[in-house]
């Protein structure tokens, strides 16, 4: 193609856009709002599973890329239509797979505005307003999670990056205390950092260590039958320690059972060994919002860092994670990215890039701000308690049926179910429930046995949804001959 021919093509669709009456340029936003309403209003009644598979989706979505571009409203309409059969109703009231929350309305709407404003949330100079919104959200988060008011808070993409950010701060601090500046010199020639985590630590802890040059976890601390790190095993692992800089990763909310590590004992042991204590509480940390369940976190307040998710239990849309570090200097030293072309700023002026791995970034804290304003303190408490109560209700209904066993203590929002004490039967029931579409849940393997894994983290679930889902599971189990 000739050069001026190419530039004509590139210019044409923009010319078409610019030729529109200025007040019609964003009509596609009205289309998006209408289509989003239709989807969200239908969430409760559509089958929970996706209706279509890989090949069909590829065929439908592979529109030819045009030379001249397309009309925004046409794109929005066709995108919504094409993807609809491949969407999973994970924001609806009967989705219990993995740990995937819904999204409260104010957070969804605020997220749209974040896109419309298209601010670079990296720092105050680029977006004064959203930097302050995130600052306010950070203050609320510290208060709700019961961590020191001076803690650093970074809004990141999820639990993975929250763990990464916290462990980067940990790496900085334990090496600083050993006389080594890891930010300046990296790990070449550094003292060895010892990382310990429970046998049932989430996989993202290992990935974070890998990204931080600490290698996959070396020291696995045995867990008990609920997946809780055993404090006595941690004590043994650290006894006769080499004095290496040490980081201990504990967990609030084991991904299968929802169990909490014994933080009081773990914190004491870490103190004795001058180890950094990190708590991965991607969903479990939200127990702090519930007076009835807060005791599960006793001792966790003594940790040095905490990772949690916004997109799980707080019910903000994907993606949002939150990294909290008690020592803001270590947090900032590990993350900040000062550049000559960014104005120097006082410590108390909000700059997202001081607390997150990103430089340019979406102001993810805005959805947290909106969700917390919608819920209020009591609404958040109710959300957490309601999900836990629904989990117990489902567990109770299933446990009453002969041949069905609940394998975990349902202390939170997670239920592990086994059918006929049989792997194959358990998988058959899971597949049947998934196909059936009343609710959706996934399988897992816990302590060598196949289990159905139920996770209740959505704001929309009602007691009637819990009953209906339990009924669907019982029906599938009876059909499978359980
Ligand atoms: C979900 C989860 C993570 C990972 O969080 P993402 O938001 O998926 O990155 C880490 N730890 C625990 C305990 C989790 O449940």
- 298: domain CATH number is 3.40.640.10
CB atoms closer than 10 angstroms to residue 184: 6
Is 271 part of any domain? yes
**Ligand 1 neighbours (beta carbon < 6 A):** 99, 158-160, 202, 204, 251, 253, 255, 280, 282-283, 309, 321
Q: Residue 86 corresponds to which tokens in the numbers above?
A: 């491949």
> Over 361-399, what HEC string results?
CCCCHHHHHHHHHHHHHHHHHHHHHHHHHHHHHHHHHHH
Q: How would you classify the pairing of strands 276-280 and 305-309?
A: parallel
Question: How far is CA 247 from its chain centroid?
Answer: 22
Ligand 1, atom 14, lies closest to the CA of 282
Is 457 part of any domain? no
Query: How far apart are the C-alpha atoms of 224 and 407, rounded to whole Å?
Result: 13
Is 445 part of any domain? no
Q: Residue 258 corresponds to which tokens in the numbers above?
A: 């929802």
**Residue 317 domain boundaries:** 108-371
Is 16 part of any domain? no
Helix axes 263-272, 231-238, angle to 10 degrees: 10
**Which residues, in sequence order, are bridge partners of residue 155?**
322
304: nearest Cα among 177, 128, 409: 177
254: nearest Cα among 86, 441, 444, 101: 444
First vs last Cα of the chain: how many Å apart? 67
Let me know how long the chain is.
Answer: 482
Is 175 part of any domain? yes
pLDDT in tens, the chain (482 residues): 444 444 444 455 566 666 667 788 999 999 999 999 999 999 999 999 999 999 999 999 999 999 999 999 999 999 999 999 999 999 999 999 999 999 999 999 999 999 999 999 999 999 999 999 999 999 999 999 999 999 999 999 999 999 999 999 999 999 999 999 999 999 999 999 999 999 999 999 999 999 999 997 679 999 999 999 999 999 999 997 778 999 999 999 999 999 999 999 999 999 999 999 999 999 999 999 999 999 999 999 999 999 999 999 999 999 999 999 999 999 999 999 877 777 788 889 999 999 999 999 999 999 999 999 999 999 999 999 999 999 999 999 999 999 999 999 999 999 999 999 999 999 999 999 999 999 999 999 999 999 999 999 999 999 999 999 999 999 999 999 85
Cβ distance 387 to 421 under 8 Å?
A: no
Query: How far apart are the C-alpha atoms of 361 and 354, rounded to whole Å?
Result: 12
- Top mutation candidate among 167, 201, 202 for ligand 1, by most atoms within 8 Å of CB: 202
Nearest ligand 1 atom to alpha carbon 163: 10
How close is the Cα of 347 to the center of ligand 1, in Å? 30
pLDDT at 9: 47
Q: Who's near 43: CB < 8 A, 6+ residues apart?
A: 89, 91, 92, 93, 460
Query: How far apart are the C-alpha atoms of 256 and 203, rounded to whole Å?
Result: 12
Is 467 part of any domain? no
Domain count, the chain: 1
pTM of the model: 0.95
Is 152 part of any domain? yes
- Top mutation candidate among 254, 256, 296, 309 for ligand 1, by most atoms within 8 Å of CB: 309
Is 407 part of any domain? no
Query: Hey, what's the torsion of the CAs at 457, 463, 464, 468, to 10 degrees?
Result: 60
Nearest ligand 1 atom to alpha carbon 204: 10
169: nearest Cα among 146, 157, 185, 151: 151
Ligand 1, atom 6, lies closest to the CA of 159
| 54 CB burial (10 A radius; 0-12, 13-18, 19+) | exposed
Q: Who's near 16: CB < 8 A, 6+ residues apart?
A: 69
Cβ distance 98 to 110 under 8 Å?
A: no
415: nearest Cα among 442, 443, 391, 384: 391
């Amino acid at each position: 193609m000739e050069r001026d021919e190419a530039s004509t093509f590139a210019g044409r669709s923009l010319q078409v856009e610019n030729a529109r009456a200025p007040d019609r340029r964003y009509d596609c936003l009205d289309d998006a709002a209408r289509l989003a309403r239709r989807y969200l209003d239908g969430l409760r009644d559509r089958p929970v599973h996706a209706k279509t598979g890989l090949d069909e989706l590829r065929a439908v979505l592979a529109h030819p890329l045009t030379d001249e571009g397309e009309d925004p409203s046409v794109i929005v309409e066709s995108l919504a239509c094409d993807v609809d059969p491949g969407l999973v109703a994970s924001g609806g009231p009967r989705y219990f797979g993995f740990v995937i929350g819904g999204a409260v309305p104010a957070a969804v709407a605020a997220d749209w505005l974040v896109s419309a404003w298209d601010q670079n949330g990296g720092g105050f100079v680029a977006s004064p307003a959203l930097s302050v919104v995130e600052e306010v959200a950070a203050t609320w988060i510290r208060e709700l999670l019961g961590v020191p008011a001076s803690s650093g808070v970074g809004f990141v993409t999820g639990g993975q990056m929250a763990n990464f950010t916290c462990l980067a701060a940990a790496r900085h601090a334990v090496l600083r205390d050993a006389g080594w500046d890891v930010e300046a010199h990296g790990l070449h020639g550094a003292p060895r950092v010892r990382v310990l985590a429970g046998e049932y630590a989430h996989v993202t802890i290992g990935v974070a260590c890998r990204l931080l040059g600490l290698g996959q976890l070396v020291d696995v601390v045995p867990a008990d039958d609920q997946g809780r790190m055993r404090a006595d095993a941690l004590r043994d692992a650290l006894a006769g320690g080499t004095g290496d800089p040490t980081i201990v990763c504990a967990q609030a909310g084991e991904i299968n059972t929802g169990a909490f590590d014994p933080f009081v004992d773990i914190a004491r042991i870490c103190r004795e060994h001058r180890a950094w204590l990190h708590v991965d509480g991607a969903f479990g940390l939200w127990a702090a919002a519930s007076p009835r369940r807060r005791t599960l976190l006793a001792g966790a307040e003594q940790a040095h860092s905490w990772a949690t998710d916004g997109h799980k239990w707080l019910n903000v849309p994907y993606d949002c994670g939150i990294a909290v570090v008690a020592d803001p200097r270590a947090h900032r030293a590990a993350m900040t990215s000062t550049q000559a072309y960014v104005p120097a700023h006082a410590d108390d002026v909000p700059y997202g890039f001081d607390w997150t791995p990103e430089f340019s970034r979406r102001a993810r804290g805005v959805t947290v701000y909106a969700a917390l304003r919608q819920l209020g303190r009591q609404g958040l408490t109710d959300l957490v308690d309601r999900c836990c109560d629904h989990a117990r209700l489902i567990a109770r209904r299933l446990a009453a049926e002969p041949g069905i066993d609940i394998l975990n203590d349902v202390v939170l929002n997670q239920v592990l179910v086994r059918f006929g004490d049989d792997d194959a039967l358990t998988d058959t029931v899971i597949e049947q429930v998934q196909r059936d579409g009343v609710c959706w849940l996934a399988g897992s393997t816990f302590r060598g046995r196949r289990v159905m894994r139920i996770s209740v983290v959505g704001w929309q679930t009602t007691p009637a949804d819990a009953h209906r889902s339990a009924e669907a599971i019982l029906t599938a189990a009876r059909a499978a001959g359980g």
